[in-house]
Amino acid sequence: MKRKLVMYLFAVALLLAACSTAEGPKANGEMTATVKRVVDGDTFELASGEKVRMIGVDTPETVKPNHPVEPYGKEASNYTKELLTGKKVTLKFDVEPYDKYQRLLAYVYMEDGTFVNEKLVREGYARIMTIPPNVAQADLFLTAEREAREGNRGLWGLDVGEQGADAKDADKKAAGKKDKAKDESKAQPSKSADSDTPPEGKAIKGNINAKGEKIYHVPGSASYEQTKAEMWFATEEEAQAAGFRAPKR
């Protein structure tokens, strides 16, 4: 009798362990959850207390310590709050379910099928920032960002407007100053609006140009400093595996 009881308890323990493992986050798995609150445009907290960072997107900062609120950051944060607060969502994982801060890394889907990550990019609330090995939706995000840029949506429209306003202000302020100072100011190359520090160990910049060509730039190369990173890579092999090529000499 004791032997049967022991065997029964052992079987129950195995079953419970299997169920627990199946429900937990795992590579290429998924889970449903309820959003408790939105932290920032690309980050939110679940009812369970776990935080989720949306894969492949990067909204302007609003809550980063010792960092100013970036242009269009509040708009992006408010948009995500309206979209997700209190909603039930499905989280789908890529190769790495967690980041180094132990936040869940996920593609987020609403009950009506809306792919939230893509929507943020396509509507101009986020730039793409796909970091290997989580690259399953990289091409979709690149297409969405290209459409947002071409349509001057969201932060892309804001960037264009700010550049135009800055140019006019600069002309007014330059009035009466030396011509040389004006010329130097106009000759100064414009820097990318995305000046984020590269992720640890990933210094190679991936960029898609106006022709749709995917090109990567290594530190020290001619166009590295002027290039806006849409994806970051640790090695040239990673960049090539994601469909990017080296610049033509």
Residue 18 lies in a domain: no
Are 165 and 71 found together in one domain? no
Mean pLDDT of 5-31: 65
Catalytic residue among 70, 75, 103, 149: 103
Domain count, the chain: 2
In a domain? residue 148: no
Upper half-sphere CA count for residue 182 (Cβ side, 13 Å): 13
Of the three residues 69, 96, 130, the one that is the final residue of a domain is 130
Residue 111 binned pLDDT confidence (cut-offs 50, 70, 90): very high
Residue 149 annotated in active site: no
Q: How far apart are CA 190 and CA 179, in angstroms?
A: 20
pLDDT at residue 5 in the model: 56
Is residue 61 pLDDT above 60, yes or no? yes
- For 158, the 3-state DSSP assignment is helix
Catalytic residue status for 123: no
Q: What local confidence, expressed as pLDDT, does residue 218 receive?
A: 87
Burial class, 204, CB count within 10 angstroms (exposed 0-12 / middle 13-18 / buried 19+): buried
Phi, psi of 170, rounded to the nearest 5 degrees: -65, -40
Do 180 and 122 belong to one domain? no
* Beta strand segments in the chain, E: 30-40, 43-46, 51-54, 56-58, 88-92, 104-110, 127-129, 204-208, 214-217, 231-233
Which of the four pLDDT bands, split at 50, 70 and 90, describes residue 115? very high
pLDDT score of 211 more than 90: no
Could you give the CA distance from residue 10 to residue 26 in angstroms, rounded to a whole number?
25
218 lies in some domain: yes
Q: What mean pLDDT comes out for the span 101-117?
A: 97
Residue 245 a catalytic site member? no
Are 121 and 177 members of one domain? no
What is the pLDDT averaged over residues 122-142? 92
Report whether pLDDT(230) > 70. Answer: yes
pLDDT at 18 over 60: no
Q: Name the catalytic one among 53, 122, 127, 149.
A: 53
Residue owning tokens 């990067």? 58
Decide if pLDDT at 22 tops 70: no
Q: Do 106 and 194 reside in the same domain of the chain?
A: no
Check: pTM over 0.85? Answer yes or no. no
Of 61, 70, 118, 238, the active-site residue reads: 61
CA 195/CA 137 separation, integer angstroms: 23
Residue type, 103: R
